[in-house]
Amino acid sequence: MVVFYSSDRVIINVWNEAFRTLKTMTCSFSHETELDDFLQKNDTSMLLFVDTRNRTIPEIERLLVSLREQYSFVHVVIFSAMPTYEEGSKWLALGIKAYGNVHMAPIHLHEIYHSVSEGNIWLYPEFIQTMIRTFNTQKTMTPASHPLLKRLTQKEQEVALLLKKGLSNKEIALHVGITERTVKAHLSSIFEKTGAKDRLALALIL
């Protein structure tokens, strides 16, 4: 089930249209009291899309804390007009499962739906790159000495270490002198050999 929480009818219509082809029930609410009444009567696992544009930070914090404490079956997806790493980090600490731009395309909304439904967290690429760079400055082990790198070819090691620095696929391709398609192929092989499910997981274990 997908539940929409927004006071913007245009966004509600866009979200409804995006999920029209999926076999899932969608509900929409504009007020927190409506949402709370609904959640008290439904305890089925669901994704809650929250449009934060017309809500203050304290209101959002209160909502997230309430959902975390009372409705553990709700997986919250936060949408902002201008997503930032600082804001997203705050909401992640309060238990959200995805964070992105309120105007993102349907294809990305579907990515969020499938990723969160499978138990994963979805974040936009620039957020992940910033997070990787942040973690990279906090770790003390020299990445080049990590035993997992011994499982990789020389080229894969080079790609993995550049990813560790927070570079995008395009930046890695330019740095190594290969195509983005080849970078993606190397990453697929790296994930398989190291057991990392995605680039963030790889950056965290190296």
Encoded amino acid at 125, one letter: P
Query: Which long-range contacts does 69-72 make (Cβ < 8 Å, 24+ apart)?
Result: 70/39, 71/39, 71/43
Of 21-30, 100-109, 171-180, which gets the smallest average pLDDT? 21-30
Q: What pLDDT score does 133 carry?
A: 77
List domains and CATH numbers for the chain: 2-123 (3.40.50.2300), 129-205 (1.10.10.10)
Given a contact cutoff of 8 angstroms between Cβ atoms, the answer to whether 9 and 54 are in contact is: no
Q: What pLDDT score does 148 carry?
A: 78
Residue with tokens 């274990």: 205
- pLDDT tens digits for 38-74? 999 988 899 999 999 989 999 999 999 999 999 999 9
Residues 6+ apart with CB under 8 A from 184: 169
Given a contact cutoff of 8 angstroms between Cβ atoms, the answer to whether 66 and 95 are in contact is: no
- pLDDT tens digits for 131-159? 777 776 655 545 555 777 888 999 999 99
Q: What pLDDT score does 156 carry?
A: 92
CB atoms within 10 A of CB 119: 8
Of 30-39, 47-56, 191-200, which gets the smallest average pLDDT? 191-200
